[in-house]
Chains A and B, each alone.
Chain A
């Protein structure tokens, strides 16, 4: 009887902790644990390559090195910023335009939309591979047509040219993720109430005015959301750039994640690599906090 009552009680009032504990536990052990370890290592000289570097405490030396003594890190940071702002703004403009197109002019959206989703559903590694094939200097399909149209010099290949390669990589990302922006903004457009718009049209408002004064403000939380999501993911970009260029030529496409990978898995400078990793995490965390506020904003709107 008592056991039954106890069980009942747990299944009733203890549900909160009971149901939540496993996930919290898993995340704390698997993510928080390594994270803390990473932060600890970032203060040491741990290296797998050089002897006698088994984790002696270095104080803030690694951080000082990162801030003052590592132009490659900051160049990588700059490249990543260009990448992030470039792709997010382009994907936003194109995605929004596409969403408007679909919203206003197309009826059979479902089929088209599903087809449009394919780029973002394919494994990023495969995306990298696909474009590497098409952009190959000698037998790439796209290279051939670009040259045929006179847009590309026969002696130049997009992925081998240090002035064009970053833009090329950004273009691949735009191809991959614009559908995502389209999807979300379209969902937003569809969720807007009809009456205010119908009323505005009847009042004689012109399309541009409606767009500027009604659509945009109403969509603002969703826009913020999708841009932040894309920003965070673009910042973490690794897979397809790794396959497309490996960071080269030189370090023209060496994004932060690729630089961190190189420090960790080529130089095996794990202490410094952890410092790098922490900085990357920090920036993402800041983006996250902003994103969270934006989500709150959109949920309450």
Chain B
């Protein structure tokens, strides 16, 4: 069973760094900074309340939730109908438009963040979460369109035809018939959207104001000349990553499709 042994080794390599992070969040400062790595230790819960209550990091969790949630809602609302059109309709320039959607996903954030900042400042949106929500939607929209196009294309056209014979308009077919059938795909897409927005760093760094900053931005913010408070930093990182890991289990069936833009079905 050499294969099994190999897999175990791989799993150890994969999971140990994360385990170490979680452990650090429960170690006293002395234990965390010890010369010899400590695996058995008396855990402490002090870091979590210190950073989330004393340092007032709880609003950051809320911001991450609100931003990621809104981004997902917005991207689905606007993107799913668009995906339907690509799946079921034909028009000149269709694939070119689809390519345009792809390029938006690929845009390096560093390339557009400064003009984006200036744009949002100009219209006075920079102090609210809206700027970040809109910025994240730019890359999530294409994810939704690409992913959902695949899901819609999976649904046999006979279903459409049956619905239209029942007297539905095309819009009606979409709302009443196709959406329910594609629900699992929509759920998977939603989770992926949420994850990508939640994890995002650069846009949040530049576009979020003090009140609207998210957890990811809060992580480097704990590096101070007092000495990095590793316990607290680890605590923030754990809170920033645990929900995502939970979501991963939910959506792993559809991850391949999502991450390859619908090109490969999982």
Closest B residue, CB atoms, query A34: B115
B residues 221-244 near A (Cβ < 8 Å) are: 230, 233-234, 237, 240-241, 244
Report A94-140 residues with CB < 8 Å from chain B CB: 98, 101-102, 104-106, 110, 112-119, 121-126, 129-131, 133-134, 138-139
Known contacts A281-B108, A284-B106: A130-B237 contact under CB 8 Å: yes
A35 touches B202 (CB 8 A): no
Could you mark each residue 33-71 of chain A with 1 if its beta carbon is under 8 Å from any beta carbon of chain B, else 0?
Answer: 111011001000000000000000000000000000000
Indicate whether A11 sits within 8 Å of B216 (C-beta atoms), given known contacts A139-B33, A277-B112. no
The complex places the Cα of A11 from the Cα of B175 at a distance, in Å, of: 11
Contact A20 B114, beta carbon cutoff 8 Å: no
Residues on B with C-beta less than 8 A from A278 are 111
A-B contact count (CB 8 A): 264
With contacts A20-B82, A38-B111, A288-B106 taken as known, whether A129 is within 8 angstroms of B17 at the C-beta atoms is: no
Interface size, chain A (Cβ < 8 Å) = 93
For the complex, what is the distance from the CA of A226 to the CA of B15, rounded to whole Å?
23
Q: Which B182-224 residues sit within 8 Å CB-CB of chain A?
A: 195, 198-202, 206, 216, 219-220
The answer to whether the Cβ of B162 comes within 8 Å of any Cβ in the partner chain is: no
Which residues on the B side are within 8 Å of A210 (C-beta)? none
Which of B20, B99, B114 meets A134, CB within 8 Å? Answer: B20
A280 proximal to B (CB < 8 A):
yes
**Are B219 and A23 interface neighbours, CB within 8 A?**
no
Residues of B within 8 A of A13 (CB): 170
Chain A residues with CB under 8 A of B200: 123
**Which residues between 205 and 264 of chain A lie within 8 Å of chain B, taking CB atoms?**
222, 225-226, 229, 232, 235-236, 238-239, 243, 257, 260-261, 264
One digit per residue, 1 when the CB lies within 8 angstroms of any chain B CB and 0 when it does not, for chain A 266-287 equals: 0000100110011011001101
CA distance A117 to B195 in the complex (A): 13
Contact A12 B248 (CB under 8 A): no
Task: Give the docked Cα–Cα distance between A75 and B142 (Å).
Answer: 33
Task: Determine the distance from Cα of A94 to Cα of B77 in the docked complex, in whole angstroms.
Answer: 39
A204 located at the interface, meaning its Cβ lies under 8 Å from any Cβ of chain B in the complex: no
A299 contacts chain B at the CB level, 8 A cutoff? yes
What range describes how many residues of B lie at the interface?
35 or more
Interface segment among B42-50, B53-61, B249-257: the answer is: B249-257
Complex Cα gap A273–B112 (Å): 11
Pick from A37, A38, A116, A123: contact of B240, CB under 8 Å: A123
Q: Which residue of A lies closest to B10 (CB)?
A: A98
Within 8 A of A (CB), among B1-53: 3-4, 6-7, 10-11, 13-15, 17-18, 20-21, 24, 32-37
Given the contacts A23-B78, A115-B15, A116-B10, A16 and B89 also touching, CB distance less than 8 Å: yes
Q: Does B181 contact A (CB under 8 A)?
A: no
CB pair B34 A139 closer than 8 Å: yes
Bound Cα distance A162, B67 (Å): 39
**Are B244 and A121 in contact (CB-based, < 8 A)?**
yes
B62 within 8 A of A: no
A200 adjacent to chain B (CB < 8 Å): no
A130 to B176, CA, bound (A): 47
The answer to the question of A150 belonging to the interface, with a C-beta cut-off of 8 Å to chain B, is no
Contact of B21 among A133, A187, A222 (CB under 8 A): A133
B155 within 8 Å of A (CB atoms): no
Residue-wise interface mask of B (76-87) relative to A, using a CB-CB cutoff of 8 A (1 in contact, 0 not): 001101101100
Is B34 in contact with A225, judged by CB distance below 8 angstroms?
no
- Pairwise interchain contact A12-B201, C-beta atoms closer than 8 A: no
Q: A12-B169, A118-B15, A225-B260 are in contact. Are A257 and B248 (CB under 8 A)?
A: no
Given contacts A116-B11, A122-B241, A133-B24, A27 and B101 within 8 Å (CB-CB)? yes
Instruction: Decide if B138 is an interface residue (CB 8 Å cutoff).
Output: yes
CB neighbours (8 Å) of A188 from chain B are 264
Residue from the list B17, B100, B202, B230 in contact with A238, Cβ < 8 A: B202
Q: How far is the CB of A80 from chain B (nearest CB, A)?
A: 11
Q: Give the residues in chain B near A201, CB-CB below 8 Å.
A: none
Q: A8-B169, A34-B116 are in contact. Are A225 and B108 (CB under 8 A)?
A: no
Q: Which residues of B contact A8 (CB under 8 A)?
A: 169
Contact A141 B81, beta carbon cutoff 8 Å: no
Task: Say yes or no: B201 contacts A125, CB within 8 Å.
Answer: yes
| Residue of B whose beta carbon sits closest to that of A35 | B112
Q: How far is the CA of A122 from the CA of B17 in the complex (A)?
A: 11
A126 touches which of B6, B85, B219 (Cβ 8 Å): B219
Known: A116-B11, A225-B263, A274-B114. A243 touches B220 (CB 8 A): yes
B263 and A30 form a contact (CB under 8 A): no
Q: Which residues of A contact B265 (CB under 8 A)?
A: 187, 191
A26 in contact with B240 (CB, 8 Å): no
Residue of B nearest to A221 (CB): B263
Q: A20-B82, A115-B14, A236-B109 are in contact. List 5 more A-B contacts (CB 8 A).
A: A22-B82, A27-B142, A114-B252, A121-B195, A285-B103
> 9 A-B Cβ contacts within 8 A?
A31-B104, A33-B119, A38-B114, A119-B14, A123-B241, A126-B237, A126-B240, A243-B219, A277-B111
Q: Which 9 A-B pairs have the closest CB atoms?
A: A105-B3, A19-B81, A34-B115, A277-B111, A123-B199, A11-B171, A37-B115, A141-B37, A11-B169
